[in-house]
Chains A and B, each alone.
Chain A
Amino acid sequence: MNPIVLKFHIRAIRNYIRTRLDWITIIEILLFGGFLVYYVLDSLHAQFANVLLKKGVGAAWNAFYRNQAIALLIFLPSGMAFARKQLASPGHQVLLTMPMTMYRACSTIVDQILFSWALLLPIWIGFLFSFIFQVHTETVEFITIIIYHTLVFFSPVLLGMFFWTAWKSTRLKHGLLRWFNTLVLISVLTAIVLLSAYNHKMHHWIVHTLITLVLLVLSRSLIIHQLVNLYTVIPDKLISQKWNIYQPFMFWVRVYMFFTPKGIRPFVRKDTLYILRRYKVYALLIPAFIIAIVAGIFHVKTFDEAMQWMLSISIASGYVFANMAFRFSDQGCELLSVVRSQPVSMKRYWFAKFWDALLPVIWITGVGSIALFLIPGFNLVIYLRILLAAAFINVTLVFVQTNFALYSYPYTRYASMWYNLYLVMGVLFFTILLFPPLSIAFWLFGYLAIFRVLKQLKQTDVLYD
């Protein structure tokens, strides 16, 4: 990696931390993250010690491999999302105009992203250390395991970049790899990395390390090649984006608008289109939701369990959608000036946000109801109770989110960048999940605060330049 680029990349990270995170937030993140990491590592350490004591070294290694595979699967969506976000940054254009070859520039871009991802490496290594010190290993083996484990850590972000470049290449007439081929290749690569680790009987760490290294170097080379292809292509030769893929949604948007009060219809339509079109932001949540539904059908046995399960899914989805409605549809509230410069009351704008939250409720309960009918003895009364509870909680979450954002900062544009909000919402989410009746208190709080919020919305300075 180019040392000058590295130097300024480190400065950019430092500036980001300085300007975006205040001290309270940094302390909160450190405390919260530190507690979480300590809790996970401590329980893993205890688990390994227990297995080692009761079942011996072979079983302990087995447990380690299994946990590593799980950890990799957890890191995979984050790594892929991280890669997508980083590669999409327009800042890379600057690097392309510098006096270096395209391959050099693109490899620097890729390494820059890997470097940022490496900031999480201590946590990953900590996971290894929670185990490795408990079993006897030779020095060479010890070093090789660390190298292997580190290489595995970089696989999610490399696979993410691989996928992103392939996805973008679908707009090229002569892309090297189509996204479907890439998807297959990624699956094969992940499977090989995982299987290579899972083959615990071999204990040939050097072989594991070499296989993984070759695969990752191959991925990196393909990413760089794809990036060069993408950046050097003449824009005129790009196939224009196929926006008509959203046309099937338009019918449902129109149906939804039919039931939306006329006064807030433009807002809700805009938000709905926005949410549908920014599907990449939440695409990974959809399979998670499907897994949760399918898992529920197989595990839920009683009425109470079914209700609790359905409620949990509704709350979780509501939490995500409430955040999305406020966060993504307004891009950091910067665009509030568009609304503020139109002859509409802030009351209408604000009320539209609640209507946004109703869409996921309808969606979730619609999908959920199909699943619920598969549970024997489930009746309409329980279904209606869940529907009401879900609607209630979704609205509460929007209330609370809107209020906290506006209470906390003098300028609305910073509201969604306020990291404390996500911590507060996280606490509220789990509180409501554990004690659903508490949502009444939150709802009342939100309702009583409406007047202050509206006043604040009207008076907040619009600053965007």
Chain B
Amino acid sequence: MIKIQNLSKKYDRTQALDDFSLSIGRGEFWGLIGPNGAGKTTLYKSLLGLLTIDNGSIIIDGKKVDKHPEHIKKIIGYAAEPPVLYEYLTGPEFLEFTGTLNGIEKNELVQKINHLLKEFDLEFKSKDPIADYSHGMRKKISLAAAFLKEPSILLLDEPTSGLDAESIYNLKNHLLSFRDKGVTLLLSSHIIETVEKLCSHVAIINKGRIIYKDTIENIYSALGPGETLETLLIRLLRESE
């Protein structure tokens, strides 16, 4: 589904991605773990074609990202961290805006927006501008915009950041329902528990490189006595320094 080969990206003096390679199959849920500035967000933006890459190639759904940007964006849902939204539109208006750009038919769009607003418990804010939303509410709108187009690939940048406990629970269930539908997911999070519960694969990234990757089952079987995914992450990061 996604094939990243020798991807490199440099911002001025910072090497954000350094000869990064990864293959992701259809329906796989990948958890990306790493410290701040590891290159996770740069990876997402490169997958969407929002950045010009210095080296390497990205092939999604058999198509090169730089050659077929519109097709790629049609099948990818992306929720950024921090959420980037139009402050002076209301939540439903923002969803209508992104939904229309994705070519969703009007009646279907209205139904989907209502459904998502109900699911994310945002109906009571539907007449307010996004400027009046809390961080968690903004995050929900950003996630709803990503889910709206029913993508076959989801890129979620720290999706649980700012959400309350109930919303995190609902989000996890929503994402598990995506797994049943064969959606491919890339999820970055600093909360190891979220990755452990949701993902089938884990990649640990540091300084723009993958320092470890495997399926969650293999990781558990390889853990030493008393070791957890969290302690493994810290050990690997220290070793990679």
Chain A interface residues (CB < 8 Å from chain B): 240-241, 243-244, 265-266, 269-270, 273-274, 277-278, 331, 334-335, 337-345, 458-459, 461-465
Contact = CB atoms under 8 A, between A and B. Distances in A.
Q: Nearest 10 A-B pairs (CB), nearest first?
A: A343-B74, A462-B50, A343-B73, A342-B101, A266-B100, A277-B88, A343-B70, A461-B51, A344-B101, A341-B78
Given A335-B86, A340-B50, 19 more contacts: A240-B132, A241-B128, A243-B129, A270-B89, A273-B89, A278-B88, A331-B87, A335-B85, A338-B86, A341-B76, A341-B78, A343-B72, A343-B102, A344-B101, A458-B69, A459-B52, A461-B50, A461-B52, A463-B11
A341 B88 contact: no
Contacts, number: 83
Interface string B119-133: 000000001110010
A342 B151 CA distance: 12
A254 to B, nearest CB: 13
Interface in B64-114: 69-74, 76, 78, 80-82, 84-90, 93, 96-98, 100-103
A270 B130 CA distance: 13
Contacts of B69: 343, 458
Most buried by A among B71, B76, B85, B101: B101
Given A273-B89, A274-B88, A337 B101 contact: no
Contacts of B167: none
21 contacts: A240-B128, A241-B128, A243-B128, A265-B100, A266-B101, A270-B86, A270-B97, A273-B88, A274-B88, A335-B84, A335-B86, A338-B86, A340-B50, A341-B50, A343-B73, A344-B70, A344-B73, A461-B45, A462-B50, A464-B80, A465-B80
A271 B85 CA distance: 13
Contacts of B128: 240-241, 243
A337 B50 contact: yes
Contacts of A243: 90, 127-129
Nearest to A273: B89
Nearest to A346: B69
Interface size class of B (residues with CB under 8 A): 35 or more
Nearest to B87: A331
A337 B80 contact: yes
B161 interface: no
B129 A277 contact: yes
Contacts of B51: 461-462
B114 to A, nearest CB: 18
B77 to A, nearest CB: 9
Interface in B19-63: 41, 45, 48-52
A465 B41 contact: yes
Most A CB within 10 A of own CB, among B11, B80, B85, B96: B80
A417 to B, nearest CB: 17
A272 to B, nearest CB: 11
Given A266-B97, A342-B102, A462 B88 contact: no
Given A338-B85, A338-B86, A462-B51, A343 B100 contact: no
Contact of B98 (A274, A278, A342): A342
A274 B89 contact: yes
Interface string B168-202: 00000000000000000000000000000000000
Contacts of B72: 343
Contacts of B76: 341
Contacts of B97: 266, 269-270
A141 B70 CA distance: 73
Interface in B123-170: 127-129, 132
B94 to A, nearest CB: 8
A62 B97 CA distance: 58
Contacts of B100: 265-266
B98 A338 contact: yes
A58 B73 CA distance: 74
Nearest to A462: B50
Nearest to A334: B84
Nearest to A269: B97
B68 to A, nearest CB: 10
A53 B202 CA distance: 87
A265 B88 CA distance: 18
Contacts of A339: 101
A439 B50 CA distance: 34
Contacts of B103: 343
Contacts of A270: 86, 89, 93, 97
Nearest to A266: B100
Nearest to B83: A338
Nearest to A465: B41
A461 B73 CA distance: 16
Contact of B70 (A273, A335, A337, A345): A345
A269 B98 CA distance: 12
A331 B88 CA distance: 11
A273 B88 CA distance: 8
Contact of B84 (A240, A265, A266, A464): A464
Given A342-B98, A343-B101, A462-B51, A337 B74 contact: no
Contacts of A465: 41, 80-82
> Which residue, of A244, A270, A273, A342, has the highest number of chain B Cβ atoms within 10 A?
A342
A459 B71 CA distance: 17
B195 to A, nearest CB: 21
Contacts of A337: 50, 80, 84
A307 to B, nearest CB: 37
Contacts of B73: 341-344
A241 B132 contact: yes
Contacts of A331: 87
Contacts of B11: 463
Contacts of B101: 266, 339, 342-344
A405 B60 CA distance: 32
Nearest to A338: B84
Given A241-B128, A335-B84, A273 B93 contact: yes
Contacts of A266: 96-97, 100-101
